[in-house]
Chain A
Amino acid sequence: MASSTVEITPVPLTVEQSEAMAQRQIKKHHVAIVLLHWFNATTWLLELSTGAGLIVSPYYRFAPVWYLQMMEGIFGSRANMLRFHIAVGLSWIAVFLVYAIFGFRNFLRIEVLQHEIGLDMDDFSWLRVRTLRLLGKNQKPLPPQGAYNAGQKLFALAVYATVPAIMLTGLVMTFHWFGAAVVAWAMVLHFFAVGMVVSGLMIHIYMGAVFPEEKPAFYSMITGMVNELYAYRHHFKWWREVRLEEERWKQRLVDEEKKRAGALEKSNDDRPAMPESSNMGKEKL
């Protein structure tokens, strides 16, 4: 099969095609990413709930007093809560450091990031159409998307911009680096950066876990797999990449089979060559 048989733009699927694609699972997430995602989610849950309980000044606090008292009760004292907040935060930094070192080649190289979370023209029109569809003002089809849609990309960009700031300001406060003025600004920046992420998190959690059209994306964060129909409809450009890769893989198998058949023909001239459709495994036996 030549790669040209893979569509360049989405086409209407037949019933049989849709059914077959809905059954076929393709791999979306590396197991390391699945684990990292849920480690990260747990960390955020713990850090947000303790962090909110640590800001008690009437000038800045946003959690009600009963929440502050409840959290203090759970941890025994606010000092213990701060120790816990710091311990979880430091292990969060440590895990992401390991990820950054060992996962750099696969996940963090600039080419990889550009490919996965760089916005293109399709993404900008996706953002417009998606918003209009959510508001029920428009039923136009969404422009084809890569492995991540424009909303996911925007959130990822915000996270990549703020998470290093959250980590750095956390370290400054933990170890009282660079004196009072820097610690004070670190405290403010820590709050602001977290606030920006939480703002995006509202959409991220709703779209990922609740919104019906994206349900397969939620399960893909558990199994690592999505069905092909979902990939075709929601991440067409990524689906095409996967298909092209599959075609190349098949082509390699066909080439190898031909080579083996040729070699066999030479050694057994009297025997006729096997037809091309024959089972490779049997031939090997």
Chain B
Amino acid sequence: MPRYAMVIDQERCVGCQSCTVACKSEWDVPNGGARTKVRQTGTAGQFPKLTTSFYVSQCNHCDRPTCVPACPTGATYQEASGIVRVNRDLCIGCGSCVAACPYSARYINASLGKVDKCDFCASRLEKGLQPACVATCPGHAKIFGDLEDRSSDVFRMVYGESARRMESSTVAIGPNVYYAGKSEHAELALASFAPVPPRSIAAATVWSSLLNKVVYLAVGATFLGQAVAFFHQLSNGEKQFEE
């Protein structure tokens, strides 16, 4: 079983947005949504020796995804290969997973009314193709592969070199998109786009912490009530003719 991962080399990325365009056309992403996007980080250093970088964000297919348990219907699930996918037949578009994602990798597709995000182009992988963004990247800044394959580029970059996960001291859920390049690039990206702790939408909070209990209590109470009456009936027996 493969364990898919992606490495983004920030030294090679020139911020051309080719990956964004390739992804949008591959997946019919409507205006206002994005499965992946390239954002410029802040700057570091003193003029005239300033440094900046680009941060390519997309779904990280985390080892411990926070979006999966947040989904009420199980539309969001993780495959054995590590790819986190959305089953559109089950998604009702409640947005629980959008809030749960620390990387803002998800959006509600307005034309479908359902959530959408990167799935490492799973349907292309099945045909033996690379993800659209990887195939199109003119600077070869995106490298995709299998971490179980010791001869793969991603294995070398992740375990042999210093490609790092975009994790912070508060959010560490094992993202499988790694960032290579100078460490100051990763620091810049982390400074501008640090993962936000998973949030829970208001409706979900009210449901899990209040209404769940109210319903259990109400159903439990009436069940108990009729159970007592039923045992009373069983122990006393029924009369042929009621009085």
Contact = CB atoms under 8 A, between A and B. Distances in A.
Contacts of A191: 207, 211, 215
Contacts of B89: 79, 82-83
B135 interface: no
Interface string B206-237: 11100110111011011101100110110000
B94 A202 contact: no
A56 B218 contact: no
Contacts of B93: 176, 180, 183
B2 interface: no
Contacts of B70: 57, 59
A181 interface: yes
B73 A82 contact: yes
A29 interface: no
Contact of B96 (A179, A184, A202): A184
A211 B92 contact: no
A187 B90 CA distance: 13
A62 to B, nearest CB: 7
A83 B88 CA distance: 12
Contact of A206 (B72, B87, B230): B230
Interface residues of A, number: 44
B72 A57 contact: yes
Nearest to A56: B74
A200 interface: yes
A173 B215 contact: no
Contacts of B73: 54-57, 78, 82
A253 interface: no
A188 interface: yes
A188 B225 contact: no
A195 B108 contact: no
B242 interface: yes
B98 interface: yes
Nearest to A172: B92
A60 B225 contact: no
A56 B233 CA distance: 37
Contacts of A207: 226
Contacts of B112: 176
B208 A176 contact: no
B207 A183 contact: no
A203 interface: yes
Nearest to A194: B215
Nearest to B88: A79
B113 A196 contact: no
Given A54-B73, A78-B74, A206-B230, A181 B95 contact: yes
Nearest to A58: B69
A185 interface: yes
B69 A79 contact: no
Nearest to B241: A22
A175 interface: yes
A78 B90 CA distance: 7
A134 interface: yes
Interface string A26-70: 000000000000000000000000000011111110100000000
B218 A196 contact: yes
Nearest to B215: A195
Please name the 10 residue pairs, one residue from A and one from B, whose CB atoms are nearest each other, closest first: A176-B113, A195-B215, A180-B95, A79-B89, A206-B226, A199-B218, A202-B222, A56-B74, A184-B203, A184-B94
21 contacts: A56-B74, A57-B74, A59-B70, A59-B207, A60-B207, A62-B216, A78-B90, A79-B89, A136-B232, A173-B92, A176-B114, A180-B108, A184-B204, A187-B92, A187-B207, A205-B226, A206-B226, A211-B233, A212-B233, A213-B242, A233-B242
Interface of A: 54-60, 62, 78-79, 82-83, 134, 136, 173-177, 179-181, 183-185, 187-188, 191-192, 195-196, 198-200, 202-203, 205-207, 210-213, 233
Given A173-B94, A196-B215, 19 more contacts: A56-B73, A57-B96, A59-B207, A60-B212, A78-B90, A79-B90, A134-B232, A179-B108, A183-B92, A183-B93, A183-B94, A184-B96, A188-B203, A188-B211, A195-B211, A199-B219, A202-B219, A211-B229, A233-B242
